[in-house]
Amino acid sequence: GLLVRLGISGLQMRVRVRVSIGFTPHAAEALEGICDVVHAPLDVSDGGAEDTAYGLMCLEHFLRSADGRRLRTDVIYFNWGLHNLLLNPEDQVPGQQDTVYDYAEPLAHIMLRLRVHAEQTGTALVWGDTTPYICDDEKDAVVQLLNKEARALMETAGIPFAAPSPHAAMAEACAASEQRPNRTCIFGEGCPHWNDAGYRFLGEKIVAPSMLRALNAPAPQPAAEAHP
């Protein structure tokens, strides 16, 4: 996810999953002079926050700086999805790839922990839908299922969604290139990832505006407990 911090040094944002590694610099550029943008985890050499079980296990680390200090945040943009697409549990790679069946429960716990963090710190939360698996309609159907599950959880907790939806916006942008499934989307490169133009689109047109809207939203209020 993205962390956004306001103050003398500006805003701070955090991003999760490898797609976020691509769009973070563009979100930072779009918000230059307004905020500082920081990826979570800080190490961007791998696939970000991976699956939801791994994300839950490491969430506390994602909210801290390299020296272990808890970061003061104003906005957190978060997402999990692309690392929970497996249908066969035998294909599971702990800490990297998990099943669709193990997606929602850890995400519910992540959401609840972030709600506590938000209520304690005044941080605004924004959920970003998982971007489409544009070259494989079967896998993209799984992505859309996970997005539906995630949105139901976020609605329960009153957490707003990034707008436009990253999934819908990227799918629409690619629809004109060729009949799907395809590998020639104007933003396509190494499906399910994107080329620099795609990451720029995500960072500038979706993530950065969603962060700015969140900063103007009312402070988070205690919500009814969501049961995972």
The DSSP-derived string for 70-115 is BPP-SEEEE---TT--BS-GGG-BTTTB-BGGGSHHHHHHHHHHHH
Q: 133 vs 41, 72, 193, 207, 223, CA distance in Å?
A: 23, 34, 8, 19, 33
Pairing state between β 36-39 and 75-78:
unpaired
Look at residue 28 in the predicted model and tell me its pLDDT.
Answer: 87
Dump pLDDT digits (tens) for 2-59. 444 443 334 444 444 457 888 888 998 988 888 787 887 666 566 567 899 999 999 9
Mean pLDDT of all residues in 135-146: 92
Per the model's pLDDT, the better-predicted residue between 70 and 110 turns out to be 110
Flag the least confident range among 70-74, 96-100, 186-190.
186-190
Look at residue 107 in the predicted model and tell me its pLDDT.
Answer: 97
Looking at the predicted structure, is the pLDDT value of residue 215 above 70? yes
Pairing state between β 124-127 and 75-78:
parallel
Mean pLDDT of all residues in 131-142: 90
Look at residue 71 in the predicted model and tell me its pLDDT.
Answer: 77
Looking at the predicted structure, is the pLDDT value of residue 195 above 50? yes
CA distance 58 to 40: 10
The reported pTM is: 0.83
Look at residue 1 in the predicted model and tell me its pLDDT.
Answer: 46
Look at residue 4 in the predicted model and tell me its pLDDT.
Answer: 45
CA distance 43 to 78: 16
Looking at the predicted structure, is the pLDDT value of residue 177 above 60? no
Q: 151 vs 29, 58, 76, 130, 169, CA distance in Å?
A: 28, 22, 16, 11, 16
Q: 116 vs 6, 77, 109, 198, 212, CA distance in Å?
A: 19, 15, 11, 33, 22
CA distance 180 to 161: 26
